[in-house]
Amino acid sequence: MQMRKLSDRIRRTAARTCSKDPKASTLLRGFDIPSREKTRLNQYGRPAAEAKLNDSPGELLDSIFSRLKQGKTVSVDDTAKKAVKSKTGGTGFRVLKYRKLFRAKLFIADIIHSKYHSSREPIPVERGWGVITEKDLPSIHLIRPSAEENVSAPTLRGDLDRVMDLDGAVPNFDPKTNRPSFDATLRYISQPDSIRRGSIPEYRPASKDPHFEKVGDESVKFRLSTSSSTRAMSLLYHVISNFKPTDLSGLSSFKGKARGFTKDGYSPVALTISSTDKSCQAFSVDPAEDFSETENVLSKFGEIIERLVTYEDENYSKLFLKRGPTLNGEMGGVNGVSPHPTFHNYSRFEKLLIRSQVDGQRQGSRGIELFDIKSRAVAPTRYHLTRYKQFANYKIQYPRGVTRSYELEFYDMVRSVFMKYAFQLRLGGMSGAFVCFHNTREMLGFEYIRLQEIEQYVFGSSHWAEKAFGFTLSLYQVIMETAVNAFSEYPRGKLRIVVSSPR
């Protein structure tokens, strides 16, 4: 009904405009678009039926795009601008203005400019964006680098891996008896100021990672990590899915609550593209330094928790705490104990080579199962990050409910980080995420969330998740190619681009 009202307003406006200007009628009649509206007479008593638009502005765009694909030209001038201007605030055939009418399409941007040409020059075909179909989507290949064949991802300490076989969250301590569900030393979290400096390796951007040379070949044009791809991919997914909300059908306590993604998921992403060779045939993509995510206390706690759940208590104290013995040796080992080397998987998608960090593994019935470790601070801590110490005694008390529950934490994850998790897990060939709930002082509970469940809440099913994954990667590659080709005359400089969504 809303679509019909919108198209009717556009059609009536076009009819009024064209009845006063036969030039507009001639222009629109050139598109040969039928109309079901009855013929009217203009002020001169002549039929004005040829000035009517179709029921949907989307069909007009389809006709224009079809003409462009056939090599024909489309002329647009100020008269056409008047013919299509409507009360919706649109200033032309901008696809994003009518995105609610295109649920089955990607976008066709720049086919016709929002600012029309007064010289009536035809728009070249190559200036339009093409439509990506399922047939155009290549498969993604997972690569384990030869340089790390003898390196394996760490395993969970103690019996934490039994969480992976259970449904739902498992409290670290029984809320009634206060008995530990796992090793009692897992209760308290080391504070950042108690960690030995340099014991946790720093993040290495793709431009400084030598393993890309050993893994990729000459056909690889762009080297990137999940940190420089998943946030941008999320923005692209929002656009091609028409800003589709999440599916909260599995959360009974939050029926009727907000289903859309959080505002942070729509924030722009800045990337830096730099050449990796003199011939400028290969490029690395890193997060822009001045636009990168500000390191906050939660990211530090995430690094600490990741090691707390993969090292036995004695080894953890020796390797990472300041009160432990002095480190010695190139690997920072202590008495024969060395930290786990960082384990990466690489995913190949046409000209893209993407690095993914794998945090853990376990031997299951189907072989080795890889997973990611995620730390998740409780809601009050995230909402008031500058005063996080005030909520160090906050506890999760209930499995379900809208307050102090694991269901609340799960609900927030669905709307804020699940899409990023889904892309990271797919790129790394991982089966799920091992989530550690905490209040920055104590470890409150654990939950293993499989990739299929994450995709169910975000995309609706794994089938549509696979399609969305392929489309967004293809679109990401198109954007990288377009940016590099547009500035090919500056081969030695760094190119910074900003990816943003219209919402």
Token representation of residue 322: 């300041």
Lowest mean pLDDT among 174-183, 318-327, 399-408, 453-462: 318-327
Is the distance from CB of 54 to CB of 33 less than 8 angstroms? yes
Q: What is the pLDDT of residues 245-275, one digit of tens each?
A: 999 988 989 988 999 999 988 999 999 998 8
Name the nearest CA neighbour of 413 among 374, 387, 442: 374
Domain extents for the chain?
2-131, 141-332+345-499
Per-residue model confidence (pLDDT) at position 101: 34
Pairing outcome for strands 269-275 and 283-287: antiparallel
Q: What is the pLDDT of residues 342-400, one digit of tens each?
A: 889 999 998 999 999 999 999 877 788 999 999 999 999 999 988 999 999 999 999 99
Per-residue model confidence (pLDDT) at position 173: 93
Positive/negative CA dihedral, 215, 429, 464, 266: negative
Strand order in the sheet with 269-275: 141-143, 343-349, 352-358, 222-225, 283-287, 269-275, 495-499
148 pLDDT band (50/70/90 cuts)? low
- Angle (nearest 5°) at CA 490 between 486 and 493: 115
Q: What kind and span of H or E run contains 409?
A: helix 406-416
Q: What is the pLDDT of residues 9-55, one digit of tens each?
A: 544 544 554 444 443 333 333 333 333 333 344 443 444 333 333 33
Give the alpha-carbon dihedral of 17, 22, 28, 30, to 10 degrees.
180
Q: Indicate the pTM of the whole model.
A: 0.72
Res 129 pLDDT > 90: no
